[in-house]
Chains A and B, each alone.
Chain A
Amino acid sequence: MSKKKNQVSRRQFLNYSLTGLGGFMAAGILIPNLRFAVDPVLKAAGDAGDLTNVSLSVDDITEEPLRVDWDVEQVDGWYESEVNRTAWVFKDENGDIQAFSPICTHLGCFVNWEGSEDHPNEFFCPCHNGRYEKDGTNIPGTPPLEPLHVYEHKVEDGMLFLGDPRPREEA
Protein backbone atom coordinates (compact mmCIF):
# COMPACT_ATOMS: atom_id res chain seq x y z
CA MET A 1 0.00 0.00 0.00
CA SER A 2 2.57 2.48 1.10
CA LYS A 3 4.64 1.68 -2.00
CA LYS A 4 1.77 2.63 -4.23
CA LYS A 5 1.15 5.77 -2.30
CA ASN A 6 4.70 6.94 -2.90
CA GLN A 7 4.80 6.23 -6.61
CA VAL A 8 4.78 9.93 -7.31
CA SER A 9 6.43 11.77 -4.52
CA ARG A 10 5.45 15.28 -3.64
CA ARG A 11 8.76 16.54 -5.00
CA GLN A 12 8.34 14.69 -8.27
CA PHE A 13 4.83 16.04 -8.67
CA LEU A 14 6.06 19.57 -8.16
CA ASN A 15 8.87 18.97 -10.67
CA TYR A 16 6.44 17.70 -13.29
CA SER A 17 4.11 20.62 -12.69
CA LEU A 18 6.96 23.05 -13.01
CA THR A 19 8.15 21.46 -16.27
CA GLY A 20 4.64 21.47 -17.66
CA LEU A 21 4.04 25.07 -16.70
CA GLY A 22 7.41 26.10 -18.08
CA GLY A 23 6.60 24.30 -21.30
CA PHE A 24 3.29 26.11 -21.50
CA MET A 25 4.93 29.49 -21.07
CA ALA A 26 7.65 28.73 -23.61
CA ALA A 27 5.07 27.46 -26.10
CA GLY A 28 2.84 30.46 -25.50
CA ILE A 29 5.68 32.80 -26.35
CA LEU A 30 7.24 30.80 -29.15
CA ILE A 31 4.25 29.53 -31.15
CA PRO A 32 3.11 32.93 -32.46
CA ASN A 33 6.71 33.94 -33.11
CA LEU A 34 7.64 30.78 -34.96
CA ARG A 35 4.47 30.82 -37.05
CA PHE A 36 5.29 34.44 -37.82
CA ALA A 37 8.80 33.50 -38.94
CA VAL A 38 7.84 30.59 -41.19
CA ASP A 39 4.89 32.37 -42.79
CA PRO A 40 6.54 32.78 -46.21
CA VAL A 41 7.02 29.03 -46.39
CA LEU A 42 3.39 28.23 -45.60
CA LYS A 43 1.85 31.00 -47.66
CA ALA A 44 0.23 29.53 -50.75
CA ALA A 45 2.53 30.07 -53.68
CA GLY A 46 1.57 33.22 -55.56
CA ASP A 47 -0.50 32.78 -58.69
CA ALA A 48 2.38 31.77 -60.85
CA GLY A 49 -0.12 31.00 -63.58
CA ASP A 50 -1.00 34.66 -63.95
CA LEU A 51 -0.36 35.51 -67.55
CA THR A 52 0.00 39.10 -68.67
CA ASN A 53 -1.36 40.69 -71.82
CA VAL A 54 1.69 41.83 -73.76
CA SER A 55 -0.38 43.98 -76.17
CA LEU A 56 0.48 41.91 -79.17
CA SER A 57 -2.19 40.67 -81.51
CA VAL A 58 -1.77 37.06 -82.56
CA ASP A 59 -2.26 38.10 -86.17
CA ASP A 60 0.91 40.18 -85.97
CA ILE A 61 3.02 37.19 -85.06
CA THR A 62 4.93 35.94 -88.06
CA GLU A 63 7.50 33.28 -88.61
CA GLU A 64 10.14 35.93 -88.05
CA PRO A 65 10.92 36.18 -84.30
CA LEU A 66 9.69 39.48 -82.91
CA ARG A 67 11.00 41.19 -79.81
CA VAL A 68 8.24 41.82 -77.28
CA ASP A 69 8.71 43.94 -74.13
CA TRP A 70 6.22 44.17 -71.33
CA ASP A 71 6.09 44.96 -67.64
CA VAL A 72 4.89 42.69 -64.87
CA GLU A 73 3.87 43.68 -61.39
CA GLN A 74 6.17 42.01 -58.91
CA VAL A 75 4.95 41.89 -55.34
CA ASP A 76 7.63 41.23 -52.77
CA GLY A 77 5.84 41.44 -49.44
CA TRP A 78 5.06 45.13 -49.03
CA TYR A 79 7.28 46.16 -51.92
CA GLU A 80 5.63 46.32 -55.30
CA SER A 81 7.60 47.06 -58.37
CA GLU A 82 7.37 46.85 -62.12
CA VAL A 83 9.79 44.41 -63.63
CA ASN A 84 10.58 44.54 -67.31
CA ARG A 85 10.44 41.34 -69.33
CA THR A 86 11.40 40.58 -72.90
CA ALA A 87 10.59 37.67 -75.17
CA TRP A 88 11.25 36.53 -78.72
CA VAL A 89 7.87 35.54 -80.17
CA PHE A 90 7.19 33.77 -83.47
CA LYS A 91 5.14 31.02 -85.10
CA ASP A 92 6.91 27.76 -85.80
CA GLU A 93 6.35 25.70 -88.96
CA ASN A 94 3.23 24.09 -87.42
CA GLY A 95 1.77 27.51 -86.79
CA ASP A 96 2.18 27.18 -83.01
CA ILE A 97 3.23 30.25 -81.11
CA GLN A 98 6.65 30.09 -79.47
CA ALA A 99 7.91 32.59 -76.89
CA PHE A 100 11.54 32.33 -75.82
CA SER A 101 13.30 34.09 -73.02
CA PRO A 102 16.18 36.15 -74.42
CA ILE A 103 18.41 35.36 -71.46
CA CYS A 104 21.39 33.34 -72.60
CA THR A 105 21.62 30.13 -70.58
CA HIS A 106 25.38 30.54 -70.45
CA LEU A 107 25.93 33.66 -68.38
CA GLY A 108 22.70 35.52 -68.83
CA CYS A 109 23.54 37.98 -71.61
CA PHE A 110 20.89 39.14 -74.04
CA VAL A 111 20.32 36.90 -77.04
CA ASN A 112 19.35 38.43 -80.40
CA TRP A 113 17.60 36.87 -83.37
CA GLU A 114 20.05 36.79 -86.27
CA GLY A 115 22.38 38.86 -84.11
CA SER A 116 25.26 37.91 -86.34
CA GLU A 117 25.28 37.97 -90.13
CA ASP A 118 27.48 34.90 -90.22
CA HIS A 119 24.78 32.82 -88.59
CA PRO A 120 21.44 33.44 -90.29
CA ASN A 121 18.28 31.89 -88.93
CA GLU A 122 19.76 31.47 -85.44
CA PHE A 123 19.62 33.19 -82.09
CA PHE A 124 23.00 34.70 -81.31
CA CYS A 125 24.52 35.89 -78.03
CA PRO A 126 27.19 38.56 -78.55
CA CYS A 127 28.98 37.94 -75.24
CA HIS A 128 30.64 34.64 -76.05
CA ASN A 129 29.20 33.81 -79.48
CA GLY A 130 26.58 31.45 -78.06
CA ARG A 131 24.17 30.21 -80.72
CA TYR A 132 20.72 28.61 -80.68
CA GLU A 133 18.61 27.03 -83.39
CA LYS A 134 15.36 28.72 -84.23
CA ASP A 135 13.56 26.20 -82.03
CA GLY A 136 15.67 27.41 -79.10
CA THR A 137 18.00 24.45 -78.74
CA ASN A 138 21.59 25.35 -78.06
CA ILE A 139 24.03 24.49 -80.80
CA PRO A 140 26.61 22.04 -79.45
CA GLY A 141 30.09 23.43 -79.33
CA THR A 142 28.93 26.92 -78.35
CA PRO A 143 29.00 28.03 -74.69
CA PRO A 144 25.32 27.60 -73.66
CA LEU A 145 24.56 24.33 -71.89
CA GLU A 146 20.81 24.21 -72.29
CA PRO A 147 18.08 25.49 -74.62
CA LEU A 148 16.58 28.95 -74.22
CA HIS A 149 13.89 29.04 -71.56
CA VAL A 150 10.28 29.13 -72.75
CA TYR A 151 7.51 31.46 -71.58
CA GLU A 152 4.16 30.01 -70.69
CA HIS A 153 1.66 31.53 -73.08
CA LYS A 154 -1.99 31.57 -74.01
CA VAL A 155 -4.13 33.39 -76.51
CA GLU A 156 -7.28 35.20 -75.50
CA ASP A 157 -9.42 37.40 -77.72
CA GLY A 158 -6.69 37.33 -80.31
CA MET A 159 -4.16 38.81 -77.88
CA LEU A 160 -1.03 37.09 -76.63
CA PHE A 161 -0.60 36.52 -72.89
CA LEU A 162 2.76 35.52 -71.44
CA GLY A 163 3.67 34.11 -68.00
CA ASP A 164 6.91 32.97 -66.43
CA PRO A 165 9.90 31.55 -68.26
CA ARG A 166 10.47 27.86 -67.61
CA PRO A 167 13.48 25.75 -68.45
CA ARG A 168 12.60 23.44 -71.28
CA GLU A 169 12.22 19.74 -70.59
CA GLU A 170 15.08 17.73 -72.00
CA ALA A 171 14.16 17.26 -75.66
Chain B
Amino acid sequence: MKRGKGMKYVGDSRVNAEKTSQIPKDYSEYPGRTEAFWPNFLLKEWLVGSVFLIGFLSVTIAAPSPLEGLADPTDAAYIPLPDWYFLFLYELLKYDFASGPYILFGILVLPGLAFGALLLAPFLDNGPGRRPATRPVAVGMMILGLSATMWLTYESAAAVDWKQIAEDNKPIPESEQMEVDMDDPGYDVYANSCLSCHGDSLEGGAAGPALIGTEYSGEEIKDIAVNGVGDMPADMFDGSDEELDDLVEFILSVNEQANE
Protein backbone atom coordinates (compact mmCIF):
# COMPACT_ATOMS: atom_id res chain seq x y z
CA MET B 1 0.00 0.00 0.00
CA LYS B 2 1.22 3.48 -0.75
CA ARG B 3 1.82 5.74 2.18
CA GLY B 4 2.23 9.42 2.68
CA LYS B 5 1.56 12.16 0.19
CA GLY B 6 -0.27 11.48 -3.00
CA MET B 7 -2.92 9.22 -1.45
CA LYS B 8 -6.45 9.81 -2.59
CA TYR B 9 -9.37 9.31 -0.29
CA VAL B 10 -13.09 8.90 -0.83
CA GLY B 11 -14.52 12.26 0.19
CA ASP B 12 -13.32 13.30 3.63
CA SER B 13 -13.08 9.67 4.81
CA ARG B 14 -9.97 7.54 5.24
CA VAL B 15 -11.10 5.06 2.60
CA ASN B 16 -8.58 4.61 -0.18
CA ALA B 17 -9.99 5.89 -3.45
CA GLU B 18 -7.68 3.87 -5.62
CA LYS B 19 -9.29 0.76 -7.04
CA THR B 20 -7.89 -2.69 -6.43
CA SER B 21 -8.09 -5.15 -9.27
CA GLN B 22 -10.94 -7.61 -9.04
CA ILE B 23 -9.27 -10.12 -11.33
CA PRO B 24 -7.36 -12.87 -9.60
CA LYS B 25 -3.65 -12.91 -9.98
CA ASP B 26 -2.15 -15.28 -12.51
CA TYR B 27 -0.23 -17.90 -10.63
CA SER B 28 1.13 -19.65 -13.73
CA GLU B 29 4.59 -18.21 -13.11
CA TYR B 30 4.72 -19.86 -9.67
CA PRO B 31 6.53 -23.18 -9.37
CA GLY B 32 4.45 -26.29 -9.93
CA ARG B 33 0.82 -26.33 -10.95
CA THR B 34 -0.21 -23.59 -8.57
CA GLU B 35 -3.71 -22.15 -8.82
CA ALA B 36 -5.74 -19.38 -7.26
CA PHE B 37 -7.65 -20.16 -4.09
CA TRP B 38 -10.71 -18.28 -5.35
CA PRO B 39 -12.43 -19.54 -7.37
CA ASN B 40 -10.38 -22.44 -8.78
CA PHE B 41 -9.43 -24.35 -5.66
CA LEU B 42 -12.46 -23.46 -3.56
CA LEU B 43 -14.68 -24.98 -6.23
CA LYS B 44 -12.97 -28.32 -5.75
CA GLU B 45 -13.14 -28.03 -1.98
CA TRP B 46 -16.84 -27.32 -2.12
CA LEU B 47 -17.36 -30.31 -4.38
CA VAL B 48 -15.81 -32.46 -1.67
CA GLY B 49 -17.92 -30.62 0.90
CA SER B 50 -21.12 -31.31 -1.06
CA VAL B 51 -20.41 -35.02 -1.30
CA PHE B 52 -19.68 -35.02 2.42
CA LEU B 53 -22.89 -33.13 3.16
CA ILE B 54 -24.99 -35.61 1.20
CA GLY B 55 -23.50 -38.45 3.21
CA PHE B 56 -23.95 -36.56 6.48
CA LEU B 57 -27.57 -35.65 5.79
CA SER B 58 -28.28 -39.27 4.85
CA VAL B 59 -26.97 -40.30 8.26
CA THR B 60 -29.17 -37.81 10.08
CA ILE B 61 -32.22 -39.05 8.17
CA ALA B 62 -31.41 -42.74 8.46
CA ALA B 63 -30.35 -42.74 12.11
CA PRO B 64 -32.46 -40.76 14.57
CA SER B 65 -30.31 -39.33 17.35
CA PRO B 66 -30.67 -41.45 20.44
CA LEU B 67 -32.68 -40.12 23.35
CA GLU B 68 -33.14 -42.22 26.45
CA GLY B 69 -35.79 -41.88 29.10
CA LEU B 70 -36.04 -38.76 31.24
CA ALA B 71 -33.21 -38.58 33.76
CA ASP B 72 -34.23 -40.38 36.92
CA PRO B 73 -31.73 -39.84 39.75
CA THR B 74 -33.39 -42.62 41.76
CA ASP B 75 -32.70 -45.17 39.05
CA ALA B 76 -29.69 -46.45 40.94
CA ALA B 77 -29.30 -49.51 38.75
CA TYR B 78 -28.40 -47.48 35.67
CA ILE B 79 -24.91 -48.17 34.40
CA PRO B 80 -23.48 -44.91 33.05
CA LEU B 81 -21.46 -44.59 29.88
CA PRO B 82 -19.85 -41.43 28.49
CA ASP B 83 -19.87 -40.37 24.86
CA TRP B 84 -17.66 -42.61 22.73
CA TYR B 85 -14.73 -40.20 22.56
CA PHE B 86 -14.39 -40.25 26.34
CA LEU B 87 -14.63 -44.04 26.58
CA PHE B 88 -10.85 -44.46 26.61
CA LEU B 89 -10.56 -42.33 29.77
CA TYR B 90 -13.47 -44.19 31.34
CA GLU B 91 -11.84 -47.54 30.54
CA LEU B 92 -8.44 -46.38 31.77
CA LEU B 93 -9.87 -45.82 35.24
CA LYS B 94 -10.86 -49.48 35.47
CA TYR B 95 -7.24 -50.63 35.53
CA ASP B 96 -5.63 -51.29 38.88
CA PHE B 97 -2.79 -48.88 38.27
CA ALA B 98 -5.25 -46.07 37.57
CA SER B 99 -7.88 -46.64 40.25
CA GLY B 100 -8.21 -46.99 43.98
CA PRO B 101 -5.09 -45.54 45.63
CA TYR B 102 -3.60 -44.73 42.21
CA ILE B 103 -6.63 -42.82 40.96
CA LEU B 104 -4.57 -39.64 40.62
CA PHE B 105 -2.32 -41.43 38.18
CA GLY B 106 -5.37 -42.30 36.11
CA ILE B 107 -7.19 -38.98 36.17
CA LEU B 108 -4.32 -36.47 36.32
CA VAL B 109 -0.86 -37.79 35.63
CA LEU B 110 -1.46 -39.96 32.60
CA PRO B 111 -3.97 -37.74 30.73
CA GLY B 112 -1.98 -34.69 31.81
CA LEU B 113 1.22 -36.09 30.33
CA ALA B 114 -0.50 -37.20 27.14
CA PHE B 115 -2.38 -33.96 26.48
CA GLY B 116 0.52 -31.83 27.70
CA ALA B 117 2.87 -33.58 25.30
CA LEU B 118 0.36 -33.08 22.50
CA LEU B 119 0.12 -29.36 23.25
CA LEU B 120 3.89 -28.92 23.45
CA ALA B 121 4.75 -31.31 20.62
CA PRO B 122 6.57 -28.66 18.52
CA PHE B 123 8.97 -27.98 21.39
CA LEU B 124 9.54 -31.62 22.35
CA ASP B 125 10.12 -32.59 18.73
CA ASN B 126 12.14 -29.56 17.68
CA GLY B 127 14.63 -31.08 15.22
CA PRO B 128 14.77 -29.79 11.67
CA GLY B 129 13.49 -32.96 9.97
CA ARG B 130 9.84 -33.17 9.00
CA ARG B 131 9.69 -36.67 7.54
CA PRO B 132 8.43 -39.28 10.01
CA ALA B 133 11.55 -41.38 9.44
CA THR B 134 13.79 -38.58 10.73
CA ARG B 135 11.97 -38.26 14.06
CA PRO B 136 11.35 -41.81 15.29
CA VAL B 137 10.76 -40.87 18.94
CA ALA B 138 7.94 -38.41 18.32
CA VAL B 139 6.27 -40.62 15.74
CA GLY B 140 6.73 -43.68 17.95
CA MET B 141 5.14 -41.95 20.95
CA MET B 142 2.22 -40.76 18.85
CA ILE B 143 1.60 -44.22 17.40
CA LEU B 144 1.83 -45.70 20.89
CA GLY B 145 -0.59 -43.16 22.34
CA LEU B 146 -2.95 -43.51 19.42
CA SER B 147 -3.03 -47.30 19.56
CA ALA B 148 -3.47 -47.24 23.34
CA THR B 149 -6.42 -44.87 22.96
CA MET B 150 -7.99 -47.00 20.24
CA TRP B 151 -7.42 -50.18 22.21
CA LEU B 152 -8.99 -48.72 25.35
CA THR B 153 -11.95 -47.43 23.36
CA TYR B 154 -12.40 -50.83 21.74
CA GLU B 155 -12.10 -52.67 25.06
CA SER B 156 -14.68 -50.41 26.63
CA ALA B 157 -17.14 -50.50 23.74
CA ALA B 158 -16.86 -54.22 23.10
CA ALA B 159 -17.95 -55.03 26.65
CA VAL B 160 -21.22 -53.14 26.23
CA ASP B 161 -24.39 -54.58 24.78
CA TRP B 162 -25.41 -51.41 22.93
CA LYS B 163 -28.61 -52.88 21.49
CA GLN B 164 -29.78 -54.00 24.90
CA ILE B 165 -29.12 -50.57 26.38
CA ALA B 166 -31.02 -48.85 23.59
CA GLU B 167 -33.86 -51.33 24.04
CA ASP B 168 -34.01 -50.84 27.82
CA ASN B 169 -33.92 -47.07 27.69
CA LYS B 170 -36.49 -46.14 25.09
CA PRO B 171 -37.93 -42.73 25.85
CA ILE B 172 -41.44 -42.64 27.25
CA PRO B 173 -42.92 -39.15 27.19
CA GLU B 174 -44.78 -38.23 30.34
CA SER B 175 -48.05 -37.97 28.46
CA GLU B 176 -47.79 -41.62 27.47
CA GLN B 177 -46.51 -42.82 30.78
CA MET B 178 -48.64 -45.33 32.62
CA GLU B 179 -50.66 -44.15 35.53
CA VAL B 180 -50.37 -47.10 37.85
CA ASP B 181 -53.32 -47.58 40.14
CA MET B 182 -51.72 -47.48 43.56
CA ASP B 183 -54.98 -48.37 45.31
CA ASP B 184 -55.12 -51.72 43.61
CA PRO B 185 -54.67 -54.43 46.26
CA GLY B 186 -52.06 -55.99 43.97
CA TYR B 187 -49.94 -52.84 44.02
CA ASP B 188 -48.85 -53.39 47.62
CA VAL B 189 -47.77 -56.90 46.78
CA TYR B 190 -45.99 -55.59 43.72
CA ALA B 191 -44.23 -52.87 45.73
CA ASN B 192 -42.98 -55.41 48.25
CA SER B 193 -41.80 -58.12 45.91
CA CYS B 194 -41.18 -56.77 42.43
CA LEU B 195 -40.78 -52.98 42.43
CA SER B 196 -37.10 -52.86 43.31
CA CYS B 197 -36.18 -54.59 40.06
CA HIS B 198 -39.07 -53.94 37.71
CA GLY B 199 -39.54 -50.24 38.46
CA ASP B 200 -42.35 -48.35 40.13
CA SER B 201 -44.57 -48.32 37.07
CA LEU B 202 -43.56 -51.70 35.65
CA GLU B 203 -41.18 -50.00 33.25
CA GLY B 204 -38.27 -52.27 34.10
CA GLY B 205 -34.73 -51.42 35.08
CA ALA B 206 -31.22 -52.75 34.80
CA ALA B 207 -32.03 -55.68 37.07
CA GLY B 208 -35.33 -56.70 35.50
CA PRO B 209 -37.24 -56.32 32.24
CA ALA B 210 -40.37 -54.22 31.79
CA LEU B 211 -43.54 -56.01 32.76
CA ILE B 212 -45.58 -53.90 30.39
CA GLY B 213 -46.01 -55.84 27.19
CA THR B 214 -45.32 -59.17 28.85
CA GLU B 215 -46.37 -62.19 26.84
CA TYR B 216 -46.83 -64.48 29.79
CA SER B 217 -50.28 -65.63 30.87
CA GLY B 218 -51.57 -65.24 34.39
CA GLU B 219 -50.61 -68.79 35.34
CA GLU B 220 -47.11 -68.33 33.96
CA ILE B 221 -46.64 -65.08 35.88
CA LYS B 222 -47.65 -66.88 39.07
CA ASP B 223 -45.10 -69.55 38.36
CA ILE B 224 -42.33 -67.02 37.61
CA ALA B 225 -43.04 -64.96 40.70
CA VAL B 226 -42.56 -68.06 42.84
CA ASN B 227 -39.97 -70.08 40.93
CA GLY B 228 -38.06 -67.42 39.00
CA VAL B 229 -37.06 -67.46 35.33
CA GLY B 230 -33.75 -66.83 33.59
CA ASP B 231 -31.66 -64.56 35.81
CA MET B 232 -34.54 -63.96 38.17
CA PRO B 233 -34.08 -65.94 41.38
CA ALA B 234 -36.85 -68.03 42.89
CA ASP B 235 -38.96 -66.92 45.84
CA MET B 236 -39.00 -63.26 44.94
CA PHE B 237 -42.63 -63.49 45.99
CA ASP B 238 -43.40 -65.12 49.31
CA GLY B 239 -46.94 -64.42 50.35
CA SER B 240 -50.29 -66.08 50.40
CA ASP B 241 -52.03 -67.44 47.31
CA GLU B 242 -54.56 -64.66 47.64
CA GLU B 243 -51.84 -62.05 47.38
CA LEU B 244 -50.41 -63.87 44.39
CA ASP B 245 -53.78 -63.65 42.66
CA ASP B 246 -53.96 -59.93 43.43
CA LEU B 247 -50.46 -59.42 42.05
CA VAL B 248 -51.16 -61.24 38.79
CA GLU B 249 -54.43 -59.40 38.34
CA PHE B 250 -52.65 -56.11 38.93
CA ILE B 251 -49.91 -56.83 36.38
CA LEU B 252 -52.44 -57.96 33.78
CA SER B 253 -54.70 -54.97 34.37
CA VAL B 254 -51.81 -52.55 33.85
CA ASN B 255 -50.98 -54.38 30.64
CA GLU B 256 -54.56 -54.12 29.43
CA GLN B 257 -54.54 -50.43 30.21
CA ALA B 258 -51.30 -50.06 28.27
CA ASN B 259 -52.77 -51.76 25.23
CA GLU B 260 -55.70 -49.40 24.98
Which of B73-81, B140-148, B178-186, B239-247 has 4 or more CB atoms under 8 Å from chain A? Answer: B73-81
A58 CB to closest chain B CB (Å) equals 24
Contact partners of B73 in chain A: CB under 8 A? 83
CB interface residues, A 52-99, toward B, < 8 Å = 83-84
A153 CB to closest chain B CB (Å) equals 21
Per the bound structure, the CA–CA distance linking A110 and B197 in Å amounts to 8
Report if A109-B77 is in contact (Cβ < 8 Å); known contacts: A116-B235, A126-B197, A126-B207: yes
CB interface residues, B 32-67, toward A, < 8 Å = none
Residue of A nearest to B79 (CB): A107
The digit string for A110-135, where 1 denotes a CB below 8 A from any CB of B, is 10100011000000001101000000
Q: Does A23 count as interface, using CB distance less than 8 angstroms? A: no
What's the interface size class on B, roughly?
Answer: 10 to 19
Give A residues with C-beta under 8 Å from B: 83-84, 103, 107-110, 112, 116-117, 126-127, 129
Q: List 26 A-B contacts (CB under 8 A).
A: A83-B73, A83-B74, A84-B74, A103-B76, A107-B79, A107-B206, A109-B76, A109-B77, A109-B196, A109-B206, A109-B207, A110-B76, A110-B196, A110-B197, A112-B196, A116-B233, A116-B235, A126-B196, A126-B207, A126-B232, A126-B233, A126-B236, A127-B77, A127-B197, A127-B206, A127-B207
Given A109-B77, A109-B197; 14 other pairs, CB 8 A cutoff: A83-B74, A107-B77, A108-B76, A108-B77, A109-B196, A109-B206, A110-B196, A110-B197, A116-B233, A116-B235, A117-B235, A126-B236, A127-B206, A129-B233
